[in-house]
Amino acid sequence: MKVGFIGLGIMGKPMSKNLLKAGHEVVVLGRKRHIVEELIAAGAQSAASPREVAERVAVVITMLPNSPQVKEVVLGKNGVIEGMKVGSALIDMSSIAPLVSREISQELARRGVEMLDAPVSGGESRAIDGTLSVMVGGKKEVFEKYYDVMKAMAASVVLTGAIGAGNVTKLANQVIIALNIAAMSEAMVLATKVGVDPELVYEAIKGGLAGSAVLDAKLPQALNRKFNPGFRINLMTKDLSNALDTAHGIGAPLPLTASVMEMMQALKTGGFGDLDHGAIVRYYEEMAQVEVKRSSRADRDQ
């Protein structure tokens, strides 16, 4: 299938490459020319505007930072909507506000264009190896038509409901991840402050009920003091802001999410917004005046 891909950042670039590996023709558009050239070398074609991308393909995928960027690219001047044919489709794989997904879908429907909101989870490493989880909202028949396109980038692609449901599912996913990282941080700072090796605590608890994919992924970052972004704090605060806005609109209190959001805002203010969201541990470390890190074997044996 001929696929357009707009947004070639940390996630979008490897996702585009996986579409090429799966045999799809891909027309790309991104802000950084060297990334576009890298994808052209891998077999992609390039376009000069969202409208041109849409004119040349059957389905357009967007992978952009937030709601305003998606609205601009899809509905703005020279936007995707101006180039899409009746019967074509937009798959927005960005993480945006569910109500914005519905608004964009309604505008596209007036032109005879279908839409799926299909945000992803898994971070850069899973984008690279094609094992993302995709949470999809939209019509079942549209989902089935483009399932193989999405599956080329993912291990799991699940239809969760009507348009907007994909982003509601993503918000729930982000709330769980953020709270898990905060809980891990509290626990490991506690252990460190008392004088117990956090790595040994991890070895003891990871096989029990406290074990989780979040613990397995994020504690090693802290122990190694490496917070290279798989998913930046800046992006997580955007997702939690969308979660809180959505929750306030429907009367669903999220007190724990609000607390973690304030921790992340403090880290952003401190200049850590471009670190991985696993760096939440640094908020707790600062308060407790300790550092969660790997001990040497000699230290353990004493």
3-state secondary structure of 113: coil
Q: Which CATH architecture has domain 169-301?
A: Orthogonal Bundle (1.10)
Burial class (CB in 10 A: 0-12, 13-18, 19+), 48: exposed
By C-alpha distance, which of 125, 138, 145 is closest to 167? 138
pTM reported for the whole predicted model = 0.88
Q: Which CATH architecture has domain 2-162?
A: 3-Layer(aba) Sandwich (3.40)
What phi, psi does 154 have (nearest 5°)?
-145, 155
Note the helical H segments in the chain. Answer: 12-21, 33-41, 50-55, 67-75, 80-83, 98-109, 123-129, 140-145, 147-151, 165-194, 198-205, 213-224, 233-250, 255-269, 280-288, 297-301
What phi, psi does 26 have (nearest 5°)?
-130, 130
One-character DSSP codes across 151-162: HTTEEEEEEEES
Q: What is the pLDDT of residue 297?
A: 55
Report strand pairing: 2-6 vs 59-62: parallel
Please state, in angstroms and rounded to a whole number, the distance separating the CA atoms of residues 161 and 171.
Answer: 14
Residue 255: which residues within 8 A CB-CB, separation 6 or more? none
By C-alpha distance, which of 243, 301, 291 is closest to 98? 243
Dihedral in degrees, nearest 10, Cα atoms 252, 133, 118, 12: 120
Q: What is the pLDDT of residue 35?
A: 97
Q: What is the pLDDT of residue 97?
A: 92
SS (H, E, C) 166-220: HHHHHHHHHHHHHHHHHHHHHHHHHHHHHCCCHHHHHHHHCCCCCCCHHHHHHHH
Low-confidence ranges of the chain (pLDDT < 70): 296-302
Q: Find out whether 256 and 208 touch, Cβ atoms under 8 Å.
A: no
Per-domain residue ranges for the chain?
2-162, 169-301
Q: Which residues are catalytic?
A: 170
Q: What is the pLDDT of residue 299?
A: 52
